[in-house]
Structure 1
């Protein structure tokens, strides 16, 4: 009996050690990114929401400058607060007080609540900003983050000044959803919440037009990325909730000025959805198309994207 217990303990320790070794490349990369974000004058902080049922991790401006507008960056499914905006953050922090939250069940944010909607995500981000004392801000959301910032602008009209939505298929028909899912030809949940390196590479191929960055990363690094995922089940539930939704015939028209940005060669949310969102929002919106760019404009054209965001958000300021 004693021998069996010792054997089980040893097995458990070996499994733990193996898991730690698999995560090591990811841990090292995360540490380097933290140093880089600190260099960009951002600091990590955590705010507790919902009577401590929800914890939200946010990279926040070290010293809020009154002469700079506040800008909240909301990531999509392709990463967390650090990974999604690597190529944009240095430039944006020069012009804005930047805040980058981990959405709930991404990075270091989590909740014991059962909600799995973009409305819940939106409320958490807005409540997080209130906890930090940020009363007015503009928002930029990419892909899934676009769904979130749309709801943020709807529920907090006085807080949200301007809205930037990048490659986010918010307005669609049921026929279009079925067509696009069939065109992808793979289980979307498996691609967005990968369990194998090849599934990450598939997501990269779908997201990029000019290059395939997935092939640059060795399997051991991608396995570390997967091993570091603590909220796989919850993120699967988030995307299943989004995919199950029917088109909303009563989707509100935002009152804020809105800039819609789309990659001309987007294979995940085709450009037609950008035109539909533009028509839905009407004259207070603008649509800008970046040529020869796929879904991940933040990777393929970060400078062009930053220029569009900066020009739009700063316009009209004295």
Structure 2
């Protein structure tokens, strides 16, 4: 039977084509411990450009979360965009679901690509991974930007009603949607001013779920459960050697403006660093 046209598959193809034409290539790295990591890396990294790591959050894959903002970064940075474990083409047979493990996997991919120094941007769940990366490998991480990540949350915050969803299993069901209704709920939580979701055809949402949300569903829920587990502010590792740490919360509908501003901030930081080096 002929497969029906998928708008999600078409957009996935568009993102892949755009990444390739932007000077990136798709790579797969076997970490030799049951873990395989997919990452977009520069075809020809330039020594004159600083390295920038973009870490996605919970969602489809790295292409979907960074596709609309990649154009802001490519002219100024050697950009590295991994799929975290259980997203895109990355997976593991190991049982560890912590953001610390995710950070170690990302670092090993960067090392495999001879990246010794870099700055990073972590979005949502990627912010937790990025913070852990900076804490574990502070000698390699120069600057950190964390977007919309509650890195200072504690396990008790869920029970005390700090968040709109107080039950972890309910949150996991929304963040890993398996029905159009749950996907609408996720969009309602994710967007500051969501569009009229009732007008979005369920067939389009079902198509997205079928293409993007049916693999590693239980593993992704385990990642979510691991975030607040035994989490206390006093136990969160300190970042000591990183030059700059930025934490942002912003309107998701204004992401283009935000990332344009972010590029300006990062470039200004690098230019000032070069200037200080020249002065000394």
TM-score normalized by the length of structure 1? 0.77
1:202 CA drift (Å)? 1.7
C-alpha distance after superposition, 1:95-149 (max 9, x if no partner): 1000000000011101111111100100000000011111111111011111101
Within the candidate set 209, 222, 226, 1:241 is matched to 226
Contact 1:44 1:57 in 2 (8 A): yes
Q: Which runs of 5 or more residues in structure 2 are unaligned?
A: 276-280
For the 8 Å contact 2:159–2:166, the answer to whether it is kept is no
How many angstroms does 1:201 deviate by?
Answer: 2.0
In structure 2, the residue matched to 1:33 is 15
Provide closer, same or farther for how the CA distance between residues 214 and 73 of structure 1 changes in structure 2, counting only shifts above 3 A: farther
Matches within 5 A, 1:179-198: 179-180=160-161, 183-184=164-165, 187-198=170-181
Structure-2 separation of matches of 1:153 and 1:64: 22
Q: Deviations over 1:28-54 (max 9, x none)?
A: 2211111111121111111111x1511
Alignment counterpart, residue 147 of structure 1, candidates 125, 128, 134: 128
Matched-pair contact (CA < 8 Å) for 2:142–2:244: no
Partner of 1:258: 244
| 1:54 pairs with 2:11 | no
Which portions of structure 1, spanning 4 or more consecutive aligned residues, are displaced by more than 6 angstroms? none
Asked if structure 1 preserves the Cα contact closer than 8 Å seen for 2:154 and 2:233, the reply is no
CA offsets, 1:150-209, max 9 Å, x none? 111111122212111112111134553334565236711011100012222222221222
Q: Check 1:249–1:42 CA distance in 2 against 1; reply closer, same or farther (3 A cut).
A: same
- In angstroms, what is the RMSD of aligned CA positions? 2.5
Residue in 2 that maps onto 1:6: none
* Alpha-carbon distance in 1 for matches of 2:179, 2:107: 34
* Mapped contact 1:119–1:151 kept (Cα < 8 A): yes
1:202 to 172, 176, 185: 185
Question: What is the rounded CA distance, in whole Å, between the counterparts of 2:153 and 2:145 in structure 1?
Answer: 18
SS of corresponding position for 1:301: helix
Greater Rg over alpha carbons, structure:
1
**What's the CA shift for 1:214?**
5.6
Q: Distance in 1 between matches of 2:194 and 2:109?
A: 36
**1:294 is the counterpart of 2:251:** yes
> Do the aligned partners of 2:58 and 2:175 also contact (CA within 8 Å) in 1?
yes
Residue in 2 aligned with 1:128? 109
Retained in 1: the 8 A contact 2:174–2:183?
yes
Q: Aligned partners of 1:314 and 1:39: how far apart in 2?
A: 27
Structure 1 CA distance, aligned partners of 2:223 and 2:40?
23
8 Å contact from structure 2 (residues 193, 253) kept in 1: no
CA distance in 2, matches of 1:34, 1:54: 23
Assess, with a 3 A threshold, how the Cα gap between structure 1 residues 314 and 194 changes in structure 2: closer, same or farther: farther
CA distance in structure 1 between the partners assigned to 2:53 and 2:7 by the alignment: 29
Following superposition, the deviation at residue 316 of structure 1 comes to 1.1
Identify if the C-alpha distance between structure 1 residues 145 and 296 changes in structure 2 by more than 3 Å, giving closer, same or farther: farther
Alignment partner of 1:306 out of 256, 263, 266 = 263
Query: Where does the alignment leave 5 or more consecutive residues of structure 1 unmatched?
Result: 1-13, 264-292
